[in-house]
Amino acid sequence: VATPCPLQFPTNYPSEERIQFLTEKMAHYAYIFQKNAYVIGPESRRQDVQPIYNEAVAEFNANPANPSPPTMPKQGDLNGEAEWFALCDEICQMQPTRLHDFYTISMAAYAGMRYILERAVEPMSDELFALIMNGFNAIAFKRCKDEGITNQTPSSQRWSRAPRNPNGGNVVGPHLIGQKIRYEDELTGDVAELTVRGCDQTPGRAPRYNVEYSDGEREKLSTKSLGRLLIHRIP
């Protein structure tokens, strides 16, 4: 596991150590997530264990000490980043004794991946984004393959950032308010759904879109983040 990066590394012009740290950290969380998905089983089994999943999600979100979107550090807050990763790592290191625990660990690993995707690499150039995402994917894919984790392994596809000015149905704007959006999660491949509830437009600041996920969780997304979801939108 990579050691925590020094806090002086800038987020827009990262050092090689910073890039390596984020790549290895992302690969670590992706491996843990996929290892747990392998234990939980294929999508066809999910309906049978839905009550356990619902219970685990409710318990995880009810604990303010757990890493969840409302407490995710802002871009550039590297002290907050270190604390976030520490929370994720503590949960990921627990020894599961029941299916409920596997879901809890998966949510912590996902929180780590989500932070890296939405905060750490978001301000970077497209080239650095692709470097980190393809790097982590190759590491996690190989580790899963070497350990025989064949169910829902990370994809061998090449990553690229969603277009900054998407066209057609992918345009982000107030017209999305009230719409339900089904999309394929770019980290897990699972189908997810959210509803755009509103848009905060403060003079001099970029708009933030208020969204509600199907499990009731609410979050504010930037135009870039919402646009990235729309790229993976499905009927």
Task: Summarize the confidence of residues 33-57 as an average pLDDT.
Answer: 82
Q: Measure the CA angle with vertex 229, ends 34 and 195; round to 5°.
A: 105
Per-residue model confidence (pLDDT) at position 44: 55
Q: Which of 159, 96, 103 is nearest to 128 (CA)?
A: 159
Tens digits of residue pLDDT in 97-118 = 999 999 999 999 999 998 998 8
Q: Quick count: other Cβ atoms within 10 Å of Cβ 26? A: 26
With beta carbons less than 8 A apart as the criterion, state whether 131 and 110 touch. no
Per-residue model confidence (pLDDT) at position 12: 52
Per-residue model confidence (pLDDT) at position 165: 37
Cα 184 to Cα 127: distance, rounded to the nearest angstrom:
23
Per-residue model confidence (pLDDT) at position 87: 97
pTM of the model: 0.71
Mean pLDDT of the chain: 82
Task: Summarize the confidence of residues 23-51 as an average pLDDT.
Answer: 84
| Residue 55 CB contacts under 8 Å (≥ 6 apart), including other chains | 100
Measured in whole angstroms, the distance separating CA 119 from the mean position of its chain's CA atoms is 10
Confidence band of 164 (pLDDT split at 50, 70, 90): very low
Per-residue model confidence (pLDDT) at position 94: 96
Tens digits of residue pLDDT in 46-99 = 677 888 988 998 999 899 999 988 889 988 899 999 999 999 999 999 999 999
With beta carbons less than 8 A apart as the criterion, state whether 140 and 31 touch. yes
Per-residue model confidence (pLDDT) at position 124: 83
* Range from 135-139, 169-173, 193-197 carrying the lowest mean pLDDT: 169-173
Q: Measure the CA angle with vertex 122, ends 215 and 140; round to 5°.
A: 75
Per-residue model confidence (pLDDT) at position 6: 39
- AA letter at 27: A
